Amino acid sequence: MGLLDHLRHNGENWVGTEYRGTDSMAWYAYTSSIDNNLPVGIRFDYWISDTTYTNYHFVLGNGYVMYTQNYFGFKDPDSGQNNTGTIYRVWSDNDQDIGFLALFKQQL
């Protein structure tokens, strides 16, 4: 059984490709997933919130904006007064600290 064999989306088998934010195809893979209505599981290697530090933190990538810089959008599952919607951050400021899983439908 493969690492991702247990993943299911809408009742069908889905598999994924893992990327580091600094991979040459990472931004394309991220934006393609969002364009295809596939959320992206993002793992930050470290996370600082207020004065709390953790070794890693998972969020849901759900959007992007291409302006003078590329911004990725995510929803943090943790609650909090400043955590009520999509948060946008500059990709190039964070790419060295993130990894993500882009899902796609398994071809049977």
Q: Report in angstroms the alpha-carbon separations of 55 from 13, 31, 46, 94.
A: 31, 26, 5, 15
- How far is Cα 30 from Cα 34, in angstroms, rounded to an integer? 6
Model confidence over 44-97: pLDDT tens digits? 876 655 565 556 778 889 999 999 999 999 888 776 676 778 989 999 998 988
pTM of the model: 0.74
- Provide the pLDDT for residue 48: 59
